[in-house]
Amino acid sequence: MKKFNMTINGQQIISDSYFDVINPATEQVFAQCAKGSADDVDRAVDAASEAFKSWSVMADADRKAALHAVASLLETNMPELMELIVQETGKPMLGLNQVGAGMEVGGAAAWAHVNADIDLPVEVIQDNEDARIELHRKPLGVVASITPWNWPLLIAIWHIIPAMRAGNTVVLKPSPLTPVTTARFVELANTVLPPGVLNLVSGDGDVGAAMTAHEGIAKVVFTGSTDTGKQIMKAASGNLKRLTLELGGNDAGIVLDDVDPIAIAPKLIGACFHNNGQTCAALKRLYVHESMYESVCSEMARLASGLVVGNGLAEGTELGPVQNQMQLEIVESLAESARTEGGRFLCGGKRREGKGYFYEPTIVADLVDGNRLVDEEPFGPIVPVIKYSDIDEVIKQANSSPNGLGGSVWSTDTARAVEIGKRLETGTVWINDHGAVQPDMPFGGVKQSGFGVEFGLHGLQEFTSIQSVKIAK
C-alpha cells in the first residue's frame, strides 16, 4: 500500500505513525499518510522562517518563474493527480458538466499560472514639491494553510500560490480525510522550490491547533466550517495573526417569474449537484416563483433522476459518493427531517444499497423556511425547492441565513435580476449562474461565512502588510 509522507525543509519525513485513507466509493483503505505532531509543526515553521529570509527578497522575476514551474508540474503530472483525487474524494474523473478531478487538477494549474503573473506595484499616493509618499506591499512571513476535504488540491492552490507569490513561505495542513493528492503535489513542488518555502504537515486536529496558535506563524488561511473558523480566531489572537476565513455557506437561488423552466433547469441542476453538492458555493436553497414552481420542480426532478451515480473511475460517471460517513449521515438526517415535516420527495431520498457512501440525487418540494433542510447546509446531493409569491419576502428569506457566501438570481430581465441580486447579503452574486469562480474575481463571504477575500489582486493583497514611505523634499 502506498504511503505518503510529510515534507519539511524540502525533505520527505518518514513518520513513526501513519493513518489510513479511505476510498469513499469502496469504503476500503487505499493509502496511508504520515501522522504529524506539534513537534513537526515546530520544525516546519522553523524551516519556513529560515527560507523566508531569502524567498521574500528574491528577484520578482525569479519568484514568478518558480511558481510557473510549480504550475507546470501540475500539468505534467495530471493523470497521476487526477486518479489520487478520485480515490480520496470519490469525485469522478470528468463528472457532471465536466466538474470533476480533471477540472480540479487543470483548474489548479491554471490558477497557479494566473496568480504567478499578478503584480503588486508600488502605489504613489503623493508626489509634489513637499513630499513623495509611496505605498509598498510587504510579505507577512510564515503563512499557515488549512484545507478541507471537498476540493483538496484546488483549494490548497488557492491558498498557497498567492501566499508564495507575495513573498511568504508556507506550512500546509490538508484534511486527514483527503491528504494524499496534496502530499504528492507538495513533494513534486519541492523539486523546483527552494527548501523550506513550501512545507506539509499532515495529521489530525492537534496539528491544526498547533499551527493556529504558533507564535512563528503570521497568518492563517482556512477553508472549512464556521465552528472551526471561530476556534481558529480564538487561537490566532495570541500573536494577532492575520486571517482569511472562507467558511460555511447555504447559498440561495431565486428564480423569477419570467424564466423558461426547460431552459434553466440544466443549469440549476449543475449549480446544485456539481461535486455532489459538496462545494461551499453550491446552490443549496432554491426559491421559485409560484407561477413557475411546478414546472421547474418537475424538470429538475426529471434531470436529477437521470444522473449517473457511481465509482468516479468508471467512464460516464457524473456523481460519485458523499466523501465520508459522517457527512452521509448528515444528509440522511436532513432528508428524514424533511420527510417528517411534509416534504414532497420528487426523486431520490435514500442511500444506495451496497458498498460506498452513495446517496441518490434528491429534490424535495413543499418545504418552507424553518425546516432543517432549508435552514442547514446539507453539503450533499439533496436540494429543497421553496415556493414564493412576493419578491420582497423572498429576499428577506434568502437573507435570513446566518451565512452569506453566495447567491443567485435567475431571469430573462438582466437589469431586474441585478437589482435584486444587489439586495442579497452575500459576498458574491451570480445572475443566471451560480458558483462559477475565476482567478481574477475576488471571492469571499460575509456574516458567518467568514471574512477576507481570495483570488486576483485583492486576494493577493491579503498576504501582505502595507508600509507607507514618506520622502520629504
pLDDT at 58 over 90: yes
Place of cell 415556493: 387
pLDDT at 10 over 90: yes
Distance CA 323, CA 278 (A): 8
In this prediction, residue 1 carries a pLDDT of 86
Residue 33 and residue 4 in contact, taking contact as beta carbons nearer than 8 Å:
yes
Does domain 252-438 match CATH 3.40.309.10? yes
Catalytic residue among 33, 88, 272, 280: 280
- Residues 174-195 have pLDDT tens digits of 999 999 999 999 999 999 999 9
**Interval 184-212 mean pLDDT:** 98
In this prediction, residue 203 carries a pLDDT of 97
Q: What amino acid is encoded at 318 in this protein?
A: E
Confidence of residue 149 (pLDDT cuts 50, 70, 90): very high
User: Known catalytic residue: 246?
Assistant: yes
Q: C-alpha distances in angstroms, 5 versus 74, 199, 276, 280? A: 19, 11, 29, 28
- Residues 345-377 have pLDDT tens digits of 999 999 999 999 999 999 999 999 999 999 999
Name the burial class of residue 369, with classes exposed (0-12), middle (13-18) and buried (19+) by CB atoms within 10 angstroms of its CB.
middle
Residue 285: half-sphere exposure toward Cβ, Cα within 13 Å: 31
- Residues 415-460 have pLDDT tens digits of 999 999 999 999 999 999 999 999 999 999 999 999 999 999 999 9
Residue 248 and residue 225 in contact, taking contact as beta carbons nearer than 8 Å:
yes
- Residues 220-247 have pLDDT tens digits of 999 999 999 999 999 999 999 999 999 9
Confidence of residue 41 (pLDDT cuts 50, 70, 90): very high
Confidence of residue 143 (pLDDT cuts 50, 70, 90): very high
Q: What's the whole-number average pLDDT of the chain?
A: 97
In this prediction, residue 103 carries a pLDDT of 98
**Interval 298-321 mean pLDDT:** 97
Radius of gyration of the chain (CA): 23
Catalytic residue among 88, 104, 246, 360: 246
pTM over the 0.95 mark: yes
Residue 408 and residue 283 in contact, taking contact as beta carbons nearer than 8 Å:
yes
Task: Lay out the sheet containing 131-139: strands in order across.
Answer: 123-127, 131-139, 464-472
In this prediction, residue 118 carries a pLDDT of 97
Region at 352 (left for phi over 0; alpha for psi -120 to 50; beta for the rest): beta
Distance CA 403, CA 18 (A): 36
- Name which of 311, 317, 322 is nearest 362 in CA terms: 322
Q: What amino acid is encoded at 170 in this protein?
A: V
- Name which of 405, 409, 399 is nearest 444 in CA terms: 405
Distance CA 217, CA 9 (A): 16
In this prediction, residue 211 carries a pLDDT of 98
Torsion angles phi and psi, residue 198, rounded to 5: -130, 115
The fold adopted by the segment(s) 2-247+449-472 is: Aldehyde Dehydrogenase; Chain A, domain 1 (3.40.605)
* N- to C-terminal Cα separation, the chain: 68
Name the burial class of residue 58, with classes exposed (0-12), middle (13-18) and buried (19+) by CB atoms within 10 angstroms of its CB.
middle
Question: Cβ atoms within 10 A of the Cβ of 144, count?
Answer: 30
Chain centre distance of CA 135: 31
Residue 38 and residue 206 in contact, taking contact as beta carbons nearer than 8 Å:
yes
Torsion angles phi and psi, residue 298, rounded to 5: -65, -45
- Name which of 361, 365, 360 is nearest 342 in CA terms: 365
In this prediction, residue 347 carries a pLDDT of 98
Chain centre distance of CA 175: 12
- Name which of 141, 137, 134 is nearest 119 in CA terms: 137
Domain ranges in the chain are 2-247+449-472, 252-438
Place of cell 520622502: 471
Distance CA 287, CA 251 (A): 11
